[in-house]
C-alpha cells in the first residue's frame, strides 16, 4: 500500500496553497466574512487556474481530474481560510449532477460557465428544514407537451438567489405512490418563469454563500432537462450526496487544519505567567489531541475520495468520512477558540469563523444523525 500523493497531486496541492495564501488576504477577507459579500473576482481568478472545476470532464472545460484532486484543493483552500474556501467551493455545489449520471444536454449550457467561475448552481433538494430525508420530496414535475411543469417549494438552497441554474429533485410519478418512488433530478434555468425566491435568512457560517428558499409555480423546462434516468432521482440524489459528503469532509478537514495551525502559532507566541503558553503541559496535550484528531480524519477522507474515483465508494464510507471529518473540525476549532482565550472570540483572530464554519459543515450535506443512519444501513441493512 502506498500512502504517497502522486507528483501531479502534490503539485496541485502546492499550487492551490500558494494561490490561497496569496489571494485570501486577512483584512479584505474579514470584511467579506462580516458582510457576506461574495468574492467574485477571486473566484474568477481561481477559475482561470482551473480550480473551480478540477473534477469536471475536460469537454466541459473542467480539469478532468478526480475527486481526490478536488479534495486536496478543497483542504488547502479551507485551511487557508474556511469561509473563503466554502465561498469558492460551494458556488458549484450540485453541478456534478449535470455530468455524473450520463450525458445531458444541459451540461454544455452550464458547466463551462461554472468552470469559468461565472455561473453558480443551486441544488434544490430539501423541502423540510428539520428533516434531511430526501424520500419525502413532494415538488412535482409533470410531463405536458414535451415539457416538464414543476410545482412545489424548496428550502435552504445554497447559492439560492445567485444561481444561474438549479438542480431540482422532483416527484415525476403520481403522489399516491409513496415516499421516494419515481423521483427525478431536473435542471432548471434560473430565468425560467414562475420561480419565486426569498432568502432563507442569514447563516451561522459559510457566510459568503447565500441560501434561499424557492417556490416553483408552473415552471416549464424541456423534458430533456431530466438528469440521469427518469424516476431514479432518489438514487441519483443519494449518489450525489455521497460525493458531496466527501467534498464537505475535505472542507471540514481543511477547516480543522487551519484552526489547529492558528492555535499552534498563537500558543507559541503568547506568554502568560512568565512562560510561553506552549510550555504548559496541559496546552501541549491539547495541541497533541488536536493533531491526533485531524490525523484520525484525514486518511478516511482521502481513502473515500480514492474509492470514489475508482467507482467503489459505498455510502457508509462516504458517510463515515464526513462524520469523522466534521467532528474533527468541530472539536479542533472549538479547542482553538478556547486556546486563544478572549482573542478566540474576536473576529480578528479568525478562529471564531472557523468554528462557525465547522458547525455549518457538520450540518450541511447531512447532520450526524443522518450519517449514522446511512452507516448503520451499510452494516445491518435497513430496519423494518
Partner 1 sequence: MQILNYTSQHREFRHRMREFLEKEIVPYIGQFEEQHITPKWAWRALGKEGFLCTAVRPEYGGMGGDFLYSVIASEEMAKTNHTGLASSLHSDIVVPYIEAFGTEAQKKKYLPSCVSGDIITAIAMTEPDAGSDLAGMTGTAEEKNGEIVLNASKTFISNGINADLVIVAAKDAGVSDPYKAVSLFLVEDGAPGFKRGRKLEKMGFHSQDTAELFFTNCRIPAENRLGEKGAGFGMLMEKLQQERLMTAVGAQASAELMLDYTTDFCKQTKDHAGKPISKHQAASFALVEMSTEIKLGRTFLDKLIAEHAAGEHVVVETSMAKYWITDLAKRTSQRCTQLFGEYGFFEDCPVVRGFRDVRV
Query: Which residues would be at the binding site for its own copies (CB under 8 A)?
Result: 1-6, 9, 68, 264, 267-268, 275, 278-281, 284-285, 287-289, 291-292, 295-300, 302-303, 306-307, 316-317, 319-321, 323-324, 369, 371-376, 378-380, 383-384
3-class DSSP assignment, residue 354? helix
The HSE-up count of residue 153 (CA atoms within 13 Å, CB side) is 10
Q: What is the DSSP string of 71-128?
A: HHHHHHHHHH-HHHHHHHHHTTTTTTHHHHTS--TTHHHHHHHHHTT---EEEE--S-
- Selected from 43, 79, 171, 353, the binder of partner 1 by CB under 8 A is 353
Residue 146 interacting with partner 1 (CB under 8 A): no
Which residue, chain included where needed, has cell 477559475? 47
3-class DSSP assignment, residue 131? coil
Neighbours of 314 (CB within 10 A): 14
Residue 51 interacting with partner 1 (CB under 8 A): no
- Alpha-carbon distance of 352 to 346, in angstroms, equals 7
Nearest distance in Å: CB 13, partner 1: 28
- Alpha-carbon distance of 184 to 163, in angstroms, equals 20
Residue number, 54 or 267, with CB nearest to partner 1: 267
- Selected from 270, 291, 309, 377, the binder of partner 1 by CB under 8 A is 270
Q: Please list every residue from 88 through 107 that binds partner 1, using CB under 8 A.
A: none
- Alpha-carbon distance of 86 to 80, in angstroms, equals 11
Q: Are 330 and 379 in contact (CB under 8 A)?
A: no
Nearest distance in Å: CB 312, partner 1: 28
Nearest distance in Å: CB 282, partner 1: 5
Nearest distance in Å: CB 279, its own copies: 4
Residue 347 interacting with partner 1 (CB under 8 A): yes
Give the strand pairing for 226-227 and 211-222: unpaired
Contact window for partner 1 (CB under 8 A) among 46-54, 101-109, 255-263, 349-357: 349-357
Nearest distance in Å: CB 323, partner 1: 12
Given partner 1, its own copies, none, residue 133, with its beta carbon under 5 to 8 Å by kind, binds partner 1
Q: Are 125 and 188 in contact (CB under 8 A)?
A: no
**What angle, 0 to 180 degrees and rounded to 10, lies between the N-to-C axes of helices 281-309 and 233-269?**
150
Nearest distance in Å: CB 298, its own copies: 8
Q: Which residues of the shown chain bind partner 1 in the complex (CB under 8 A)?
A: 30, 34, 126, 128-133, 135-136, 156, 179, 200-206, 211, 270-274, 280-282, 285, 330, 334, 337, 341-342, 344-348, 352-353, 355-356, 359-360, 362-364, 367-370, 372
Amino acid at each position: 500500500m502506498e500512502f504517497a500523493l502522486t507528483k501531479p497531486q502534490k503539485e496541485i496541492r502546492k499550487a492551490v496553497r500558494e494561490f490561497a495564501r496569496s489571494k485570501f488576504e486577512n483584512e479584505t477577507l474579514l470584511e467579506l466574512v462580516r458582510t457576506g459579500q461574495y468574492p467574485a473576482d477571486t473566484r474568477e481568478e481561481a477559475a482561470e487556474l482551473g480550480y473551480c472545476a478540477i473534477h469536471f470532464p475536460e469537454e466541459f472545460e473542467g480539469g478532468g481530474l478526480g475527486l481526490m484532486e478536488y479534495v486536496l484543493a478543497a483542504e488547502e483552500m479551507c485551511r487557508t481560510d474556511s469561509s473563503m474556501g466554502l465561498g469558492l467551493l460551494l458556488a458549484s455545489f450540485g453541478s456534478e449532477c449535470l455530468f455524473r449520471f450520463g450525458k445531458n444536454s444541459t451540461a454544455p449550457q452550464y458547466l463551462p460557465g461554472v468552470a469559468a467561475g461565472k455561473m453558480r448552481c443551486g441544488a434544490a433538494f430539501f423541502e423540510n428544514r428539520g428533516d434531511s430525508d430526501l424520500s419525502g420530496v413532494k415538488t412535482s414535475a409533470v410531463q405536458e407537451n414535451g415539457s416538464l411543469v414543476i410545482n412545489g417549494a424548496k428550502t435552504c438552497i445554497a447559492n439560492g438567489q445567485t444561481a444561474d441554474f438549479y438542480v431540482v429533485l422532483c416527484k415525476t410519478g403520481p403522489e399516491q405512490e409513496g415516499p421516494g418512488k419515481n423521483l427525478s433530478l431536473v435542471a432548471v434555468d434560473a430565468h425560467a418563469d414562475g420561480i419565486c425566491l426569498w432568502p432563507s435568512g442569514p447563516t451561522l457560517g459559510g457566510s459568503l454563500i447565500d441560501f434561499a428558499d424557492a417556490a416553483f409555480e408552473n415552471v416549464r423546462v424541456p423534458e430533456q432537462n431530466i438528469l440521469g434516468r427518469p424516476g431514479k432521482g432518489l438514487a441519483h440524489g443519494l449518489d450525489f450526496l455521497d460525493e458531496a459528503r466527501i467534498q464537505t469532509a475535505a472542507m471540514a478537514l481543511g477547516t480543522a487544519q487551519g484552526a489547529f495551525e492558528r492555535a499552534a502559532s498563537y500558543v507559541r507566541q503568547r506568554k502568560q505567567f512568565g512562560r510561553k503558553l506552549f510550555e504548559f503541559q496541559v496546552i501541549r496535550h491539547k495541541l497533541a489531541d488536536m493533531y491526533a484528531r485531524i490525523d484520525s480524519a484525514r486518511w478516511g477522507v482521502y481513502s473515500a475520495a480514492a474509492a470514489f474515483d475508482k467507482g467503489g465508494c459505498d455510502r457508509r464510507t462516504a458517510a463515515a468520512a464526513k462524520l469523522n471529518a466534521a467532528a474533527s473540525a468541530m472539536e479542533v476549532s472549538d479547542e482553538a477558540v478556547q486556546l486563544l482565550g478572549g482573542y478566540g472570540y474576536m473576529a480578528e483572530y479568525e478562529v471564531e469563523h472557523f468554528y462557525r464554519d465547522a458547525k455549518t459543515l457538520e450540518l450541511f450535506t447531512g447532520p450526524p444523525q443522518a450519517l449514522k443512519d446511512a452507516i448503520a444501513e451499510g452494516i445491518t441493512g435497513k430496519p423494518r
